[in-house]
Amino acid sequence: MCKPLHIAPLLMAATLLASCKREERTLRQPPPASETLNTIQISGLNPGANSIPTPPSSNMYQESAYAVSEGQKLYEGYNCVGCHAHGGGGIGPALMDRDWIYGSEPGNIFATIMQGRPNGMPSFRNRIPEYQAWEIAAYVRSMAGLLPKGVSPNRTDHMNVKPAESSTSEQTPIGITGLPEQHK
């Protein structure tokens, strides 16, 4: 009697499997890979020229709605808002626009957080655990619309002074992106 119904769950499963990663909640982080840390520490501290490869583990954060939402909480909690506001910038540069001084790749943002940058951005090495820096990096990218909509956070339960990340249209990073080939 139910034969034709067998196909439907399979189809549905197939569609939903595609978005499975989005729902992944890694509660216990993998131990930090010390090699990554060391490669990223090397920095010329000049705009752009950091050809930092994005380690594969960072995808885990870019693709998980949970990780991005954790990043959002940390962005507020660690008072990134104090300088960058809710992406509009203030003391620090805006994060929701297309201009990226030190690159828009997750690795670039990670390095910026960890190493600090001239003219005000402090280094958070040792202060912010690596996985949290990756989460914040993922969230920062969502502010510029660089993450898929299904992963980007929607409104928070605070005063919402700008449209939510999930309704930010995608920016094309310009200026110095940090990608080696574009720098040439």
The footprint of other proteins (CB under 8 A) covers 1-5, 8-9, 12-13, 16-17, 19-20, 22-25, 27-29, 31-32, 65-66, 68-69, 73, 77-79, 126-129, 131-132, 149-150, 153-160, 163-164, 166-167
Closer residue to other proteins in complex, CB, 141/178: 141
Instruction: Decide: 121 and 92 in contact? Cβ < 8 Å.
Output: yes
* Distance in Å, CB of 47 to other proteins, minimum: 27
Contact between 153 and 77 under an 8 Å Cβ cutoff? The reply is: no
Which of 103, 145 has the CB closer to other proteins? Answer: 145
Q: Which among 79, 122, 108, 85 has a CA at the least distance from the CA of 173?
A: 108
Q: Cβ of residue 164: shortest distance to other proteins, in angstroms?
A: 5
The CA distance from 142 to 145, in Å, is: 5
133, 110 Cβ separation under 8 angstroms: yes
Q: How far is the CB of 73 from other proteins (least distance, A)?
A: 7
CB of 92 to other proteins, least distance (A): 17
Would you call 99 helix, strand, or coil by DSSP? Answer: strand
| Shortest distance in whole angstroms from residue 125 CB to other proteins | 10
Q: State which residue, 28 or 184, has the beta carbon closest to other proteins.
A: 28
Question: Among residues 23 and 182, whose Cβ is nearest to other proteins?
Answer: 23
Cβ closest to other proteins, residue 100 vs residue 134: 134
Kindly list the distances between the CA atom of residue 160 and the CA atoms of 76, 85, 86, 154, 156, in Å, as whole numbers in the listed order.
13, 12, 9, 10, 7
Measured in whole angstroms, the distance separating CA 77 from the mean position of its chain's CA atoms is 16
